[in-house]
Amino acid sequence: MVTKSTSKRAKKFVFGLKSDRQIDGDKMNSDFIKKVMAEGGDGAAIAACMQCGTCSGGCTNIDLMDMSPRTLILRIQRGEWETVLNSNTLWMCSSCYICTSRCPRGVRPSDVIEAVKAIAIRQGIENDSTRFNQIFVELVQKRGILFEPELMQKYGGLQGLIDQAPLGIKLTLKGKMSPFPDQVKDPKQFSDALEKAKKQ
């Protein structure tokens, strides 16, 4: 015979987790959720996640991640910042937005991940991914259009440039990459947009 208390506990086991976020909403870390939402906007509707796993089911990079997007959202809900910070999931996300397009609750996992990445970078986390992102941003700010050979040289040095040369040649021959640096048509408009973004 199943007692009332045993039955109640059994309902809380969802996807192998001991507590369902919708049942135990009081266990969410509201302060941390607000912090992530302030960074990522209303799209980072973390509290709405019901842990259905749809985001993870469609993730194209999940085999490279140490935790699924669903689990990452759960850790963020709980405020387990150190676990989130040390996860490679933040840096393996390719922002393809499949998870976001399929979420039945309107959560935007891609936006959540981008928001947490921004917070992590401001807090001083350093790894190959943050270094790549920093170089990427600096080069885009420089002329408004990325020049891939310059990116590879700054990120991987001369050897990195040589290693990527065969791919670069193929892309250039197919018209997918310019062999020469380019610049946006209206540099001032681009510069003004950057300044506006920094102020926001």
Question: Residue 145: which residues within 8 A CB-CB, separation 6 or more?
Answer: 181, 182, 183, 184
pLDDT of residue 27: 67
Residues of the chain with pLDDT under 70: 1-27, 40-44, 200
pTM over 0.85: no
What is the reported pLDDT for 190?
84
Residues 6+ apart with CB under 8 A from 135: 151, 154, 155
Q: Is the CB of residue 99 less than 8 Å from the CB of residue 69?
A: yes
Residue type, 172: T
pLDDT at 167: 92
| Two tokens, residue 160 | 């990195």
The tokens describing 144, both together, are 């408004």
